Amino acid sequence: MLQIAALAELILCWIAWMLAFVKPRRQAALRKKVARASESRLGMILVAVGFAMIWAYVRPPGFEKSWPSLIASMILGPPSVALAWAATRHLGKQWSLEASLREDHELIQTGPYRWVRHPIYTSIVGMLLATGAGWTWWPMFVGALIAVLAGTDCWRSGFSSRSPPIAPAFGPIFRSFGEFPSGPA
């Protein structure tokens, strides 16, 4: 029974997580991009590979998740969804699937961005951990985790403080932003 409840919650969490990106994508589509980071495309591919691996039904005969693992999945999913929703709402029209700067781009430092530098990437990893705990056989989980961590690093580093387009776009505020937060991702 717990396995069915955990899987049902996990599927609902994934649906809610994906819906968090619908409105911001529509808002962002109306704005012109002025700079793109090509590295972010490799990151998107690696994250997609990780997501495919985490959901792959590759497991030995008789495989079942333990109840502590299922409970961990049920605990990790909802906060990851909430983090994605909060992050996309605070980004609004600034959100983009790929790392890019748009006209009149602003550095968001409110909401979850006060505590976590990259809350969307943190929510991606949270959903991956929830899925791994509740569904995936451990070798696939490890492979997916490696792919997603590498992907989010490529995606994120597309516009880091080392990238030429971002520092001039935000000036001193970005350098001070680079000093905090010290949280995950």
Query: For residue 158, what are the domain limits?
Result: 39-57+65-97+105-185
Residue 173 falls within a domain, yes or no?
A: yes
More confident residue, 121 or 100: 121
Whole-number pLDDT of residue 164: 45
Whether 48 is covered by a domain: the verdict is yes
Residue 6, domain member (yes or no):
no
Say if residue 138 is exposed, middle or buried (CB neighbours under 10 Å; 0-12, 13-18, 19+). exposed
Is 26 inside a domain boundary?
Answer: no
DSSP code at position 98 = S
71 part of a folded domain: yes
pLDDT at 180 over 90: no
In a domain, 69, yes or no: yes
Q: d(Cα 109, Cα 123) in Å, to the nearest integer? A: 17
76 contact partners, CB below 8 Å, separation of at least 6: 126, 127, 129, 130, 133
**The pLDDT value given to residue 15:** 97
pLDDT at 113 over 60: yes
- Structural domain includes residue 7: no
Question: Which of 42 and 124 is assigned the larger pLDDT?
Answer: 124
pTM, two decimal places: 0.80
Q: How far apart are the C-alpha atoms of 124 and 117, rounded to whole Å?
A: 14
Query: Which pLDDT score, from 0 to 100, does residue 173 have?
Result: 58
In a domain, 18, yes or no: no
pLDDT tens-place string over residues 145-172: 999 999 887 766 654 544 445 555 655 6
Looking at the structure of the chain, the number of domains it has is 1
